[in-house]
Amino acid sequence: MSHSKDHGGGHRGWKIDELAHLSGVSVDTIRYYGREGLLPSAQRDGRGLAYGSIHLERLSKIRALQERHFTLAAIRDLAESGRLELLERLLDRGEQALSRDELCAQAGLEGDLIERLETIGFVSPPEERGAATYDGADLAAIRSIKSLMEAGMPESIMLLLAEIYVRQMGALRQDLLASFGDLPANATPDPRPDEIDDFVTGTSTQIEVYLNHFEVLLTYLHRRTLERLAVEAVEVSEYPPVGHGVR
């Protein structure tokens, strides 16, 4: 085995056939990935090319994402934007891969309702995130919708609430993006540019912590909002509709 130079992670350089043996990926496929921008450039080593641990790790990630039915085009886009590490932390290795029919069957909902949820933007079609199938997160959300309807929520109300959530989350996303660029004049408190940079950079390493605690915070806000909504609904019902009551 060639050991001429260090090419990342403390490993010495490997020839392409050695990398193929270590990764279980064929030489032709490695060359194809290199041409398509899926792999970092190999280092010139004399008359040949040398590959390092960074290439072995990337091949492992590509295989893992393909097993989750991500397309090569989507993987390339993620690699070019530097989001492979972040995505790997977000995706659970136990996620399911479900077709539309399997999603409907396991969730117990008709396909036309799921299609309506996609139309309003509540359920994301797999292709929007570069995947070929639905996953466990889709299934959990749709099962919760089914449970809400079984608990007495009319389908029309459920769809209205879903549309409201989509609209509000879209506005939140735009506010966050704006905050990482030009901050509004009345932003309170006003983060320093270095604080924003540190937060964005740290997201890839702290994503599990962020997700866990934001889930608690969002659940709290949802609970308090629903409690206030219930109280206000009771207060409104204590007054007779306009045009009725004692004359």
- C-alpha span between 89 and 131 (Å, rounded): 16
- C-alpha span between 215 and 15 (Å, rounded): 46
If one counts the domains in the chain, the total is 3
Q: In whole numbers, what is the pLDDT of the chain averaged over residues?
A: 75
226/200 same-domain check: yes
pLDDT single digits (tens) 29-66: 999 999 988 898 888 877 788 998 889 988 988 888 88
pLDDT single digits (tens) 185-223: 555 556 666 766 666 666 655 666 666 677 777 777 777
CB 107 within 8 A of CB 143: yes
Which residue do the tokens 């041409």 mark?
Answer: 35
The pLDDT score that the predictor gives to residue 76 is: 85
Least confident of 110-124, 138-152, 184-198: 184-198
Q: Which residue has the higher pLDDT, 190 or 6?
A: 190
The model's pTM is: 0.50
**Stretch 167-185: mean pLDDT:** 66
105/76 same-domain check: no
Of 147, 179, 211, the last residue of a domain is 179
Residue 33 lies in a domain: yes
- C-alpha span between 136 and 125 (Å, rounded): 13
Give the rounded percent of residues in the chain with a pLDDT score beyond 90. Answer: 12
- C-alpha span between 168 and 122 (Å, rounded): 11
Q: Which residue has the higher pLDDT, 172 or 113?
A: 113
- Neighbour-count burial of 240, counting CB atoms closer than 10 A to its CB (0-12 exposed, 13-18 middle, 19+ buried): exposed
Of 179, 212, 230, the last residue of a domain is 179
